[in-house]
Every structure is written in C-alpha cells, then in structure tokens.
Amino acid sequence: MKPMGLTLVALGLGLVVVGLLVWAGAFSWFGRLPGDIRVESGHTRFFAPIASMLLVSVLLSLGAWVLRRFF
C-alpha cells in the first residue's frame, strides 16, 4: 500500500501546482495556439482546440510513460 499512497500524494501535489498556475494566469495562452480553430459569425460560434488537445495528449502520454517507468 505504500507505493499507492506515494502515488496518490504525488498526483495530489501535481494537481495543486497546476491549479495554482491556472489561478495565477500562467495558462492564458492555452486555447489560442496556432492550429486551434475558432470561427465566429453572427450568433454562431465554433471552437476546435486541435493543437491544444494534441499538446495535452503528448503531456499525458509522457506523464504515463514516466509513471510506468519509475513506479
């Protein structure tokens, strides 16, 4: 149970750090990357954050690889 507890604590601390960064405005660029599609006309809005979601996917995959490699 000790490795599981350490993993939960690490994930919790990671969430706190990301939450503080979001609160401070460090991710104001997120959703405005080149490759994110935004179309507005009249009363219709369309937003497809393709580049942002690719970045999230790469970061989550890298994080999962690190967790599998070292735990």
Domain ranges of the chain: 1-26, 31-71
Paired with 37 in beta bridges are 48
Q: Percentage helix, strand, coil, to 5, in the chain?
A: 60, 15, 25
Q: How far apart are CA 14 and CA 5, in angstroms?
A: 14
Mean pLDDT of the 31-56 span: 94
- pLDDT-based confidence at residue 6 (cuts at 50, 70, 90): confident
The pLDDT value recorded for residue 71 is: 67
Report d(CA 32, CA 65) in Å as an integer. 27
Residues of the chain with pLDDT > 90, as a percent, come to 68
- Rounded percentage of the chain residues whose pLDDT exceeds 70: 99
46 confidence band (pLDDT: 50, 70, 90):
very high
Mean pLDDT on 3-31? 90
